[in-house]
Amino acid sequence: MANHKSAMKRNRQSILRRARNRANNSMIKTAIKAVDAAIEAQSVEDAQAALKTAIPIIQKGASKGTLHKKNASRKVSRLTKRVNAFVASTQSAA
């Protein structure tokens, strides 16, 4: 445990940041899982709606510093690509 006043403050700040970052990461992972679940359920409308809600959550994580900006961009790009491919495959099959 820290003994100096500044070290104790640093410890308090890091605990708060860790909790905030874990909450943000959890929200991001949940949003991504919702998109994956909608694709697995073969629901085009749900997949597009889940993607629409996931993109701002991922971007918010990047703006808060939980994710790197390029990491967030890559996640959004891959999710969008996956949903668009799913929609195209269901339309061509129908």
Q: What share of the chain has pLDDT > 90, as a percent?
A: 91
Q: Tens of pLDDT along 69-87?
A: 999 999 999 999 999 999 9
Domain topology for 5-93 = Methane Monooxygenase Hydroxylase; Chain G, domain 1 (1.20.58)
Give pLDDT, residue 94.
Answer: 67
Give the count of beta carbons closer than 10 Å to the beta carbon of residue 58.
22
Give the count of beta carbons closer than 10 Å to the beta carbon of residue 61.
21
Predicted TM-score (pTM) of the model is 0.88
Rounded Cα–Cα distance for residues 31 and 57 (Å): 7
DSSP state, 4? Answer: S
Q: Where are the alpha helices (DSSP H) in the chain?
A: 5-40, 44-64, 69-93
User: In whole angstroms, what separates CA 61 from the centre of its chain?
Assistant: 7
Is the pLDDT assigned to residue 53 strictly greater than 90? yes
